[in-house]
Structure 1
Amino acid sequence: MGGSQSSRKISVDNENAIQVSQEALDRIQAQLNAKQAEQPQQPPSPQYNPPPFYESQKRQQENAAEEVYWARRIENLKRAHEKINAGMLIEYQKTLKEANELFEMAQKDKIASKLPPCQAEKAKVLECYSTNPDKSLVCSVLVNEFNDCVCKSRIAAVSASS
């Protein structure tokens, strides 16, 4: 149906066609060239072209205005960043100080916990024994105090670890 092409052909004979000789065409072309040569060339319609100095001055003013705008914007951004950096520096200093204080406290606790308990009582017992080498019963009261101190520190250590 629609898949095949039509095999019909149409031909049109133009009985009113005009044949122009080459000589006639050359004459018409020569006349057109002569008319164009006779007519003075008309300049294009006048348009206002501002002087180049005005254009460059206007462009310079626009550039100067943009420079001022961007310089102001950059300064505002610098100030904002300086404020942020100052705040961050203050917070950094506070945090550093707190961390150092905590570190020092932890160091003191480690030092205190590294020392054996009851050092004062131990020193008293040793002094008593050195001053009374032949009378050890004289130091019995100090030895009992040292023993009580050691027991208390053991109880404290056990209760702290559990």
Structure 2
Amino acid sequence: MPALRTVAPLAPEKLRPCWPAERIPWEDSRAIPRGGRRRPAQPRAIAALELALHIRSSGYNVFLAGTPDLGRTYTLTTFLEPLARKEATPPDIIYVNNFGDEDHPILFQLPAGQGRQLKTALSDALSQFRESLGVRLDSDAHLKKRSDELDRFRRDRAAIVAEVGS
């Protein structure tokens, strides 16, 4: 059996990296630019995204796949953010119920930001309606109308039962 080789210990000066000071272009670490351009980790994915952005027809989608912690979100965000800043802000798209055909909701497009304003206004209107509904249902006029309708219903039902019974 061959003897195991022993490894010679490293000298302390070899335990840390040494970079010649004349090759460092900054005075100190505060001058180093932050968020510098990094080479994309997925060049084929970037090429596919560039191709996808040139397809202007509807019905095409981009699907990102891969294992967790691969950097999909980071790559997509760093690729799309500069491009999105150059484009016009898209409209707000709102779907509302179509009572005539519930399988086909109605689509509304509003200028950017007005969808949130509409949501807030509708929420406020619904809150006001809920607050006033209890007051209105407990009002004397509503209680009298309800009592009259109930009496009319009982009379009509009694007349129908009498007619069927005879």
Name the TM tier (shorter chain).
Answer: under 0.3
TM-score by length of 1: 0.23
TM-score if structure 2 supplies the norm length? 0.23
Higher helix share: 1
Structure showing greater radius of gyration is 1
